[in-house]
């Protein structure tokens, strides 16, 4: 799908032609890919990189344009098992045009609220600004979700809450990698802007983007370290709770096993029939001695097996 926009009165306005200042290619099909290759001189590798969610952020400088791979956060849904994902988009920028290649049509939504959009460069910087604030919004959500999970975990000690914490921690790792690579792209873009004599306002905005991206990166890194410690602590807490339950179960068995043994021996009608000619005060003590002897032989055998296993290792 192709969406075209012109810049009028500081905002994006949809148009129908293919010579617009800003164009969005959402999941381009075969014909649209051919248009990107033939008309806009975008090679197949760059096109594949723009649609690859695992592609690393980078920036390429060409004589008449520059091409960016930018890591962006995906919209969060509660049905995603508390997993926050990142994806990639491609940005082909020249002085008079900006092409956006992405897997969804949300990249240009909401642009123009921060500042007026008069040039394709303004659209590019505004889109990068929105993406960084999207990361910050997700980090706030992750913090709130983590607190809620902590309360649920202390109340129920269920494994699924711990698994959800693992999902959040994994999402933070993806965010850290994406923000780190985006920071490198912004630094190179800042150097390019200075060489190409961009306006002071644009250079100042790129500096602000670098600062906010670094702050977002540090915040995600802190959350990741805190989550790692909390997951270890909660895992140990769950183990301690399990050990407490096993201790209580062991105490119950210690109380009831002797009673079961006495009841079992007292109820052995077959043994009483087999020893009918022997007084009970002789037959039952002999039976107990035989049980104790068998238990002793079993303990000795287990100790010998354990000793052989230790020597073998």
Per DSSP (E only), the strands in the chain are 2-8, 11-15, 22-26, 58-61, 66-73, 86-94, 97-102
The pLDDT mean for the chain works out to 81
Model confidence pLDDT, tens digit, residues 53-75 = 888 898 988 888 899 999 988 87
Angstrom distances, CA of residue 14 to CA of 29, 32, 98, 109: 21, 18, 14, 12
Give 266's strand partners: none
* 22-26/97-102 β-pairing: parallel
pLDDT at 42: 84
Q: Which long-range contacts (CB under 8 A, 24 or more apart) does 207-211 make?
A: 208/129, 209/125, 209/128, 209/129, 209/132, 210/183, 210/186
pLDDT at 218: 92
Angstrom distances, CA of residue 308 to CA of 13, 301, 311, 312: 82, 11, 5, 6
Angstrom distances, CA of residue 35 to CA of 69, 80, 107: 19, 35, 20
The per-residue b/e assignment along 18-48, b for 16 or more CB within 10 angstroms, e otherwise, is eebbbbbbbebeeebbebbeeebebeeebbe
pLDDT at 185: 92
Neighbouring residues of 104: CB distance < 8 A, sequence distance ≥ 6: 26, 27
pLDDT at 182: 92
pLDDT at 271: 66
How many CA atoms, within 13 angstroms, populate the side-chain half-sphere of residue 64?
5
CA dist., res. 133 & res. 156, Å (int): 35
The label of the residue with tokens 């520059």 reads 66
Angstrom distances, CA of residue 93 to CA of 212, 243, 290: 22, 61, 91
Pick the most confident of 94-103, 143-152, 260-269, 290-299. 94-103
Model confidence pLDDT, tens digit, residues 4-50 = 888 888 788 888 887 888 888 888 888 888 888 888 888 888 888 88
Task: Name the pLDDT band for 305 (thresholds 50, 70, 90).
Answer: confident
Task: Name the pLDDT band for 208 (thresholds 50, 70, 90).
Answer: very high
Radius of gyration of the chain (CA): 34
Q: Beginning with the edge strand found earlier in the chain, give each strand of the sheet holding 2-8 in spatial order.
A: 11-15, 2-8, 22-26, 97-102, 86-94, 66-73, 58-61
CA dist., res. 7 & res. 22, Å (int): 8
Model pTM above 0.75: no
CA dist., res. 5 & res. 178, Å (int): 28
Averaged over 136-158, what is the pLDDT?
Answer: 77
The separation between CA 45 and the C-alpha centre of its own chain, rounded to angstroms, equals 27
Averaged over 119-136, what is the pLDDT?
Answer: 89
pLDDT at 292: 79
CA dist., res. 118 & res. 6, Å (int): 10
Range with the poorest average pLDDT among 38-42, 107-111, 179-183, 190-194 = 107-111
CA dist., res. 82 & res. 72, Å (int): 17
Model confidence pLDDT, tens digit, residues 225-284 = 887 777 666 666 667 777 777 777 877 776 677 667 666 766 667 667 777 778 877 877
* DSSP-based three-state secondary structure for 66: strand
């Amino acid at each position: 799908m192709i969406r075209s926009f012109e810049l009028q009165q500081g905002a994006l306005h949809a148009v129908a032609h293919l010579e617009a200042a800003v164009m969005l290619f959402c999941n381009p099909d075969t014909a649209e890919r051919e248009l990107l290759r033939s008309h806009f001189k975008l090679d197949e590798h760059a096109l594949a990189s723009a649609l690859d969610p695992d592609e690393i952020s980078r920036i390429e400088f060409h004589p008449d344009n520059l091409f960016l791979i930018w890591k962006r956060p995906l919209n969060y849904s509660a049905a995603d098992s508390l997993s926050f994902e990142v994806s990639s988009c491609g940005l082909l920028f020249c002085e008079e045009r900006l092409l956006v290649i992405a897997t969804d049509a949300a990249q240009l939504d909401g642009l123009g609220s921060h500042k007026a959009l008069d040039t394709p460069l303004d659209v590019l910087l505004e889109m990068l600004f929105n993406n960084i604030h999207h990361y910050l919004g997700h980090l706030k959500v992750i913090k709130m979700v983590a607190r809620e999970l902590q309360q649920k975990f202390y109340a129920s000690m269920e494994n699924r809450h711990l698994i959800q914490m693992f999902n959040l921690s994994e999402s933070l790792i993806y965010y850290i990698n994406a923000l780190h690579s985006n920071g490198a792209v912004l630094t190179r873009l800042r150097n390019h802007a200075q060489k190409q004599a961009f306006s002071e306002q644009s250079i100042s905005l790129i500096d602000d983007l670098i600062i906010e991206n670094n702050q977002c990166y540090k915040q995600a890194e802190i959350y990741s370290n805190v989550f790692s410690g909390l997951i270890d602590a909660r895992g140990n807490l769950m183990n301690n709770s399990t050990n407490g339950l096993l201790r209580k179960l062991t105490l119950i068995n210690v109380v009831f096993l002797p009673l079961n043994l006495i009841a079992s021996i007292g109820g052995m009608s077959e043994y009483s029939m087999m020893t009918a000619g022997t007084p009970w005060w002789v037959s039952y003590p002999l039976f107990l001695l035989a049980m104790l002897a068998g238990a002793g032989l079993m303990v000795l055998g287990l100790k010998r097996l354990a000793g052989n296993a230790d020597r073998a290792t």
